[in-house]
């Protein structure tokens, strides 16, 4: 059973389009995250939700909007995609302590 799953695995789209990435965890964790890994492999946190409430919102463009319909899901919607949005986006979840968590397989986004 996949603990943290993301869809789609790959996403190729044109500049200006709107796209969503979905994340689901079946671990019963309270906290979920979105990380961005750029071409240099550096991971940066974007958002963190705890029990459907936003607790971390790093300086990311307003074009990025997370949505958590329930504590098992954290989706990422991106409006007006730009070339610089190309990256691998990782969803993660944890219970109690951040870092003692589980990451999803990543979604590789390529904006043309």
Partner 1 sequence: SQQGEEDPQALSIQEGENATMNCSYKTSINNLQWYRQNSGRGLVHLILIRSNEREKHSGRLRVTLDTSKKSSSLLITASRAADTASYFCATEKGGSEKLVFGKGTKLTVNP
- Min dist CB 38 to partner 1, Å, is 10
Q: 8-47 mask for partner 1 (x: CB under 8 A)? A: -----------------------x---x----xxxxxx--
User: Which C-beta is closer to partner 1: that of 14 or that of 40?
Assistant: 40
Per-residue tokens: 1: 């059973």
User: Which C-beta is closer to partner 1: that of 69 or that of 96?
Assistant: 96
Per-residue tokens: 51: 């029990």
Would you call 83 helix, strand, or coil by DSSP? helix
Q: Which of residues 49-88 bind partner 1 (CB under 8 A)?
A: 55-56, 58
User: Which C-beta is closer to partner 1: that of 64 or that of 90?
Assistant: 90
- Say whether residue 99 binds partner 1 (CB under 8 A): yes
User: Which C-beta is closer to partner 1: that of 16 or that of 61?
Assistant: 61
* Contact status, residue 97 vs residue 37, Cβ threshold 8 Å: no
| Beta strands across the sheet bearing 19-25 | 4-7, 19-25, 73-78, 64-70
């Amino acid at each position: 059973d996949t603990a943290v799953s993301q869809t789609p695995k790959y996403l190729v789209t044109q500049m200006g389009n709107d796209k969503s990435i979905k994340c689901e965890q079946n671990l019963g964790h309270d906290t979920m995250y979105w990380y961005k890994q750029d071409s240099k492999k550096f991971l940066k946190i974007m958002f963190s939700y705890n029990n459907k409430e936003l607790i971390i919102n790093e300086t990311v463009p307003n074009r990025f909007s997370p949505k958590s319909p329930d504590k098992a899901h954290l989706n990422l919607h991106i409006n007006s995609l730009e070339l610089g949005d190309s990256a691998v986006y990782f969803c993660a979840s944890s219970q109690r302590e951040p870092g003692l968590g589980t990451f999803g397989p990543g979604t590789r986004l390529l904006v043309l």
